[in-house]
Structure 1
């Protein structure tokens, strides 16, 4: 039961796909506005990360305080579950400074009845942008179910505003359009008032609210999953004394006739406090104007064993209907619900879709012979016509896919030139996206993924064979020691099938909403440098061995001749000896998005300058394959480096106290690098010893490459065969709520510190299965003091273990910053 609950929490937290403003799935005709400043600032230019036209939607008048007449409207064509919105100011090559500091969101399911979104404390204003380039993402808590969404700028003074926007969520497959129920009531319990009303209900008579927001209550109805709300917030409840008939009636209306298989009702069952699950459910169905006479009757056995809240499944027997009315009979003094969901079968829907699909042509042919329809030969002719048309449609679809691939390959050279030019533009702000999950996603995908491949690789790839001076060297015996350096710092995992793929970091929470910002902004250029890396002559690279492989590229160990001249800020390094470097390449057949992300990645990483961060040295982007060249650390990754030693091993350290000091010094270098990244609002998301490299004199540098190597495949947990998560290093809010912040990186640092002080002899929570690790994060979520922490390592000072525990505090705001962590660890070094 706990696993089911945790999985449902996961699925609710990750319905965060971009819905198509950036990717182009939303067509221009579905984007409208109240007005426009000019044709070049029309609504169709209000797409996040796009710089067409004058770079945004701008209304034709200045925004005025308390004037909400101007709006940008998006038609999603069907109902969607929207959990996140993103905004950006106008892009015009640095000219202009128009953006929306604040805004409201209105939504509608039918285009007629509009509702203003409010957070769980009733606030409507959403904090927006502070400059033109930053992408600011805001969680909609509670989420909305809508087809039409409006963004409405709000200002304190008269000013010009411009917006680019994106919506994140997933399609609303439940089909529920509205429900109606008696108003929730108030309970006096143990001296406190418990308010059991439907707070976020968005309709006066018919609407949607807490019973469909994707979250549900705890076992104790006086507590809530939401911070800062009143007791009873998660539940809608009624007392038996207010209903003479002994039952509560609710009506559910759907978008079309559906074949219903079941209804799931999440009920509280604190029977010792007079709250029980319903005793009986009687459901009536309506497909047209009349209710069917035969209801579905479901009787529930009383449960006096477990007081846990739970989902009760009511079988609906594949009844066809567009409206359902259910009466829930009381079983005690109070009855409380926190979520209701419906499941409909596929058979009826498939039949309707097939009939709609073939009705436009074959049935027209058959209707010509209506009078003699029973003639066998004509009937056979109609069936043959249907089959021929179906085959023709299949052939057209297949040919269209082949043609699109041919067009993409033909235009790839043009894209290279365009992206190379964009790379050199100093003032262009790039956003850093995730990669997609699946290798079969082509040009329609916004993201590409890099996944580890099999271990059957024998020779250098065809990509590197095309580099003139790359020569294969066999039997070097170094692959097991050194790791690939995918210096991407992009997210290497997602939380579940619907997570919004955007590299975002948390800022301070404002107005009760979680604020995120794109990581590339505000990254300072190095002194004396323009941030653009020089082109390195690829003929000076000599292939040594393959370090790792991903879905869209590979990482190789190479020798680079004359690399010192590219390290301009290393004045003392004038050796002409070839130096070892790691070269990350992008396959030539990678699609447009992968190539675009690769160049954006270069732009971001080129600006990182810290002694404890792997440095990007040069690039090769003038021809294929695209390459980025990074530093190479001769002692491999920290995990393998430490696991080869023992605390008492001679040659590593002399004594236990000295050992601890050196290990803590390694950890302090990691905290120093993370302090630098946090100063840039940069969230790493996969901090671990496998992602730290070791150089001479125990120098540590942070990278991000663990997923590209089979050696660490066991450190990542797969969900539904697709998403991969380093759950043993992740904070509870990252796993369950999809929130990645500086504080979640602090949590991962605590686990990394634990790895270091155990010399990486075992995996964190080695005694737990992956499922048990997720269950343990659920205990953090419930906060009932049942969570299990990593044990204190042998010979670890008490103060250092206290630092670890502070990194794992449930409340993210109570965890130390990397500045505080670094200061604490440096005390041991001194």
Structure 2
């Protein structure tokens, strides 16, 4: 299992897009490519038009056939519009069989492609052109190199005058980077005594070469193939040394940097750039020492004056090639110009990719902003390679001894497996006694292949447990259930430690005792008395008592109807079961809100808002939940809770407009930073201080204290759901579940719901109970995220099934539960506070009021 996890992580870290796995049919055969998107230069009959050129389909007269016999000099084509930029890796072709009535096919074909529909490029096939040998067998042709395009033309080629017909299918995946061209200096040749000559040119570039500069195209920097540690080694056969890299010499270029310009399909909000660079310093090759990037919103505009600068901490110990992640500070642009400064004689890149708000890749590895230590993928690769080397060692002269050793090892393994199975059987028998305390036997079967939880229980009504006073009943896991909320009103305030450590006040949790944080009695809301707000994304942001919703009327909604035409779409933040979340620019919003605006001073810049939009085809239940959410959100007025600014409900689709913070979510913000130190100051590395982290933690506890005072249960508290502005003001939101970037943080249960199990309390996972106390548990995990700077997912070494099993170990009180370890910069008192948040007994968990008193700065 560990080896499997390492292989998966290594695959994720190797490239932003993997041609070996990007081989999905794009829709000719199944009809996703519409007839209106298929055209041709000509057709023989109506029944042999381009709409019949679908692989393995026998419609019309069986295929597309151009008009008349095809001459060798004729150019007839079948054109496909994919409606978006696509990474095409495979082309499948087939002739016309037409239920034995036809026998026409193309023995060869050419491929032209275009990204904008105006400039067409002929694809160059190094391994020869091949088509079909008969009318019914399909031929699958890999494209080396792959093609990034929206439009493609299949052009049949013949050596004699003959009739040809074709059916086709394309394979690939969406090109989410949006990059349509880059311009670089021409790659150079590295020649040194005793080593092969390395030709480091961009051999697959499909633009133009003028005055030793490439422009207007894409090539090896976007083909999905990362170079190896030794730049002379290649992934391709029959190519020259250095083929996988594009490289430049500092001695030849002169200014000390390489300037690369990037053009995108539309304006994008960039978070980071990833550059795969060689670091074979023994040959004078190093990753770049720094980079400066300029932006412009339109191609005809001037470059903005203020660049984003990033300094790399150079590594002279590990020669492995690695990705270097460059934060781009959420700058908005359609074009970028980056200058990469040399750290040695040579600089070599094999891949450059970008991450923007709407182009997140679930398979991307956590960003790394320095290279002071060996990268994760290179260290894992070294571990795997070492294992292979040792495992491959054999002694040809000791064959008989080796066979005897193998037989002995196999027998020992059989004995060990038998003992393990026997121990598991005995443990299961012993576990039945304490589990019968619940008066109903439950068995949990975890299936890693289907990612489901199956709970089986006899059809006996649940009984009240007399031995556990904290829970009234046990029931099957139901993601739609919310348990009783624990009030936190009229709680005593706790004193704050006046001691300072390292320039910040260390939290004092010595007085944060259970009897001070909880009342003796806990009111219980019946299951039917809880309203679960489904929300536009299909998530549940707040679970509230029904009386809170039923008592609301139209006059309780304190926000106005905003003109829909003033919302200008920027990009999609996410989508869910019932709707979408868009990032928009609200024209005239400050004037609309007037003097009571909750927005800070915006210095004349456009006001960015998040617009949650209900789909027109949503169910009536979803529509009612959406209106209930508007009513509830209009009541929430706290500095650390996302505010509902206005609505658009006079016509469909229904929309609610909320605040959006310019620094995005806290997870992305912290993952791009390091702890403040002398090194970060010297190298101008984005950093945060311990006081910043405590300030963020206190704000989150303050916002949750406000929700708890209203008996609201959030159910999805995490750094991904905390937004922050440039003043580091935190506001709690609920967008995380709708964003593909964080899809791996959620676990789907039998197709019914997705749950953030790594942040959930054990009673929420096993019993389906969601209370303010379970929010406290999630707050403890959120604190852990903050003080690890979001570099790691909670329980990252456990699978989702093992996380659920881990909560079961705690539930059975056998002392085998795995806890999160203390983050390195975390003060001991703060980690003690986290551990109290993860207490098995609800009464031992601190309240949010207690947490706020412990975390807030001293007065």
| TM exceeding 0.5 | no
TM-score using structure 1 length: 0.43
TM-score by structure 2 length?
0.42
